Amino acid sequence: MRLGPDTPALVTGGGSGLGAATARALARRGVRVGVLDRDAAAAARVAGEIGGLALEADVTDPAAVAAALARAAEAHGPARLLATCAGIAPASRTVDRDGRPHDPELFARVLAVNLMGTFHAATQGAAAMRGLAPLTPDGERGVIIATASVAAFEGQVGQIAYAASKGAVAAMILPMARDLAASGIRVMAIAPGLFRTPMLEGLPAETQASLGAQVPFPARLGDPAEFAELALAIAENPMLNGSVIRLDGAIRMAPR
């Protein structure tokens, strides 16, 4: 799929971090971008910066996601590219030091945002895409790019909920791609490693440097712009389908 002024796109979690970087990169290519975020001010800030459309919605609410997609479709046309970047990563162990089991409400919340949020956006986005005219001789109609994590494969201490949610996202990609193949819709995921996102930027500078030094090469935290570059490359390469690409500098996460 060629990205350009005729390409409508929507990015969930677009108000910060990987989502904001992806929205900015798309806008630089002339793409009409819907910036969806639970934080209305963050969505408005990024949308204002790139000339996009701010969309306030909680990805855990399928009705809110549907309304946001409809607003974006009215403004730009139904999204041909959907990038799901909304996510949370609270830390909690299976049993804490005082012997208390993991809070089930917290576990459910992480799955609601990371897994169900991806599911809601992807399924609703795909339903709209399949009714569109093909863009290429191959019959391609659109692309969905989800955000997994290296935690899907090497969850660390305190990441039981996060790893479970991202593992489920990773597992969803191939069957979803197979489901949508007849409709000409590709589905991919990126599994980032240690990236300079709001989750890590809140840590002291020395801690960030220490984490970056654990990456074999390049020995630093990833730049969200590098995630965005891969998302754009996926969108434009028609043979990328049904896979999860690690973007991690060859790191394999230690237990802690």
Q: Is residue 2 part of a domain?
A: no
Active site residue 162: yes
- Tokens representing 250 are 């060859």
Q: Is residue 254 part of a domain?
A: no
**How many angstroms separate the CA atoms of 202 and 200, rounded?**
5
Average pLDDT of every residue of the chain: 96
Do you find a cis peptide bond into 175, omega within 30 degrees of 0?
no
Q: Please write the tens of the pLDDT for every residue from 72-130.
A: 999 999 999 999 999 999 999 999 999 999 999 999 999 999 999 999 999 999 999 99
**How many angstroms separate the CA atoms of 217 and 78, rounded?**
39
pLDDT of 234 reads: 98
Q: How many domains does the chain have?
A: 1
pLDDT of 199 reads: 76
Scored b (16 or more CB within 10 A) or e, 218-228 reads eeebbebebbb
Q: Is residue 218 part of a domain?
A: yes
Q: Is residue 223 part of a domain?
A: yes
pLDDT of 238 reads: 97
Q: Is residue 112 part of a domain?
A: yes
- Tokens representing 242 are 């049904």
- Tokens representing 219 are 């020995």
**How many angstroms separate the CA atoms of 140 and 238, rounded?**
8
Q: What residue type is 168 in one-letter code? A: A
Eight-class DSSP state of 78: S
Q: Please write the tens of the pLDDT for every residue from 30-74.
A: 999 999 999 999 999 999 999 999 999 999 999 999 999 999 999
CATH number (domain holding residue 86): 3.40.50.720
Q: Which domain holds residue 144?
A: 8-246
* The one catalytic residue among 37, 146, 147, 162: 162
Entry pTM = 0.96
Q: Is residue 255 part of a domain?
A: no
